[in-house]
Chains A and B, each alone.
Chain A
Amino acid sequence: MCAGGCGLVRRMGVLAAMVVVMALLVVAGVHNLRQRRAAMAQARAAQIVLVKDGAAPVVDDGVENSGTSLMGKAAPGFTLVDLNGKKVSLADYKGHPVVVNFWATWCAPCRLEMPWFEEFAAKYKGQGLVVLGLSQDDADMPAAKIAEAAKKIGVTYTILQPGDKAKAEKDYALADYLPETFYVDKNGIVVEHSLGAPPKDELEADVKKAMQ
């Protein structure tokens, strides 16, 4: 007698537990959806597309918030100091394909790809390729330390000391990690952008895009 009654009670108990679990799922799902919508709205509100030479930024309705937004646009100009104390501007290389590579001495993947840039700088020298390595180390990092790192990595192309990092981050809409590279064609247009160290063949393909 109890078997049937107890069984019914148990089943009702299990059913009640399932209803509670389903209700929890629905509440969590709704909350999750609301959070995602709020985050997306926030990202859209914060989206900024930057233009050359510090012109007034324009709010975009896209969701991309990294250097990818510079694709097809003029590379923002900069003037920084190389490891010998000489001022170097992107404008100095007008008419050349330029690789603008953001790196730091503490970034192991940067050190992995930099020798490839060195190799391609030599390989495509005849086509005017220029590689600029913009150090994102702390502003108080001595130039000698950066030079020591560059030597150890084995690069001889122009390395630029960290200048106004906030400006570079803003102008190039940099992500919060390294390396990050912009491939600029001879007309000064960003034709490719990469985040992180890509495989060597992919990196060379990006270099070639800048030379087309």
Chain B
Amino acid sequence: MMKQGSGFSAQGPGWVLTVLLLLGVAGRAQEISFGGDAAKKGHVSLLSDDLVVEAGKAQVVELRFRVEEGFHINSHTPKDPLLIATALKLDAGDVKVLGVEYPQGAVFKLGLGADAETLDVYQGEFRVRVRVVAVRGSSTMVGTLHYQACDNAACFPPRDLAVKVAVTGK
């Protein structure tokens, strides 16, 4: 009995691992089948969840964005003024925007050797800090993120990502 029980215990993690692996594969299949390509199409997506803030008080909230892997967008302060700077524009509404603070960009080298150009970019996840005052109750922060995405060899035209974040003032 003991031996049989031990045998099952020894196999248990194997079964569990198998099921977890299959679940992982299933999850990936679901991602492929049903995943939101709309966000990928523009190469940048808004990650921010709903925000809860203290009503009537100025405070800083963070809006999280993600640049698709393999792509980059210019930072808010690109090295060359000809390049399109990333800029968040928020509409006036129940959430009063007092200021926007952008993260520093990362150095990105385009090209090789003497022909290489150094760019100042955002890659992966980046956060924009927004100083706001929200009214009591539910409201929505609405605006757009203007950006221009590239990879190592090509660039997509400038785009505007719709930004819509629910804000609850308590």
Contact = CB atoms under 8 A, between A and B. Distances in A.
B153 A25 contact: no
A111 B16 CA distance: 54
Interface stretch (B22-30, B58-66, B94-102, B130-138): B22-30
Nearest to A148: B82
A22 B22 contact: yes
Contact of A28 (B1, B8, B32, B115): B32
Contacts of B32: 28, 32
Contacts of A10: 8, 12
A198 B112 CA distance: 12
Given A109-B153, A149-B82, A17 B4 contact: no
Interface string A178-212: 11000000000000000111101000000000000
Given A7-B8, A107-B155, A197-B154, A28 B117 contact: no
A105 B82 contact: yes
B82 A200 contact: no
B29 A3 contact: no
Given A28-B30, A31-B33, A176-B157, A108 B117 contact: yes
B111 interface: yes
A146 to B, nearest CB: 10
B119 interface: yes
Interface in A1-50: 3-4, 7, 10-11, 14, 17-18, 21-22, 24-25, 28-29, 31-32, 35
A196 B5 contact: no
A112 to B, nearest CB: 5
Interface in B16-41: 16, 18-19, 22-23, 25-26, 29-30, 32-34
Contacts of A106: 82-84, 148, 155, 158
Interface string A101-145: 000111111111001000000000000000000001000000000
B24 to A, nearest CB: 10
Interface residues of B, number: 36
A86 interface: no
Interface string B79-111: 000111000000000000000000000000011
Contacts of B150: 107-109
Contacts of B119: 108
Given A108-B150, A109-B150, A195-B154, A31 B115 contact: no
B18 to A, nearest CB: 7
A14 B83 contact: no
Nearest to B154: A196
B42 to A, nearest CB: 11
Given A112-B111, A152-B82, A176-B157, 12 more contacts: A3-B1, A7-B5, A11-B15, A17-B19, A24-B30, A106-B83, A109-B110, A109-B154, A111-B117, A112-B110, A177-B155, A197-B154
6 contacts: A3-B8, A11-B15, A21-B22, A106-B84, A108-B117, A110-B155
Interface of B: 1, 4-5, 8, 12, 15-16, 18-19, 22-23, 25-26, 29-30, 32-34, 82-84, 110-111, 115, 117, 119, 148, 150-158
